């Protein structure tokens, strides 16, 4: 699963935001934050796991979720590179406009 495709869904972005604020949460705690069925949230969590955006650890009867920091850093680096690329284009445009 593509990481950006996984984050295209607002519910999955909200799950990531919850985990970013709380560090880790059980699947039940995550489900309690939404007005949708537990199976629907489980499906969202599965997609986030497949995209390697979250990690899951089984503790007794609970499944505990946390953000995968390595993947988030990869995405941050990609965004930084794209920003740098666009800034280069804007700098070239500024140079061109100053010449005329």
Stretch 70-83: mean pLDDT: 93
Stretch 1-7: mean pLDDT: 90
The confidence score (pLDDT) of residue 75 equals 92
1-67: CATH topology: Arc Repressor Mutant, subunit A (1.10.10)
Instruction: Find out whether 18 and 30 touch, Cβ atoms under 8 Å.
Output: yes
C-alpha–C-alpha distance, residues 85 and 56, integer Å: 35
User: Predicted confidence band at 95 (pLDDT cuts at 50, 70, 90)?
Assistant: confident
- Per the prediction, the chain carries an average pLDDT of 92
User: Predicted confidence band at 96 (pLDDT cuts at 50, 70, 90)?
Assistant: confident
C-alpha–C-alpha distance, residues 82 and 79, integer Å: 5
In 1-100, which ranges are continuous DSSP H helix?
3-7, 10-22, 27-31, 38-50, 69-99
Boundaries of every domain in the chain: 1-67, 69-100
- pLDDT of residue 1 exceeding 90: no
C-alpha–C-alpha distance, residues 95 and 62, integer Å: 58
Tell if the pTM clears 0.85, that is, is over it.
no
């Amino acid at each position: 699963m593509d990481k950006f495709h996984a984050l295209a869904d607002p519910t999955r972005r909200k799950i990531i935001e919850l985990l970013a604020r709380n560090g880790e949460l059980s699947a039940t705690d995550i489900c309690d934050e939404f007005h949708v069925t537990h199976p629907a949230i489980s499906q969202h969590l599965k997609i986030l796991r497949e995209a390697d955006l979250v990690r899951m650890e089984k503790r007794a009867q609970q499944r505990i979720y946390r953000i995968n920091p390595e993947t988030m850093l990869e995405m941050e680096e990609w965004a930084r590179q794209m920003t740098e690329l666009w800034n280069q284009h804007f700098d070239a445009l500024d140079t061109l406009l100053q010449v005329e």
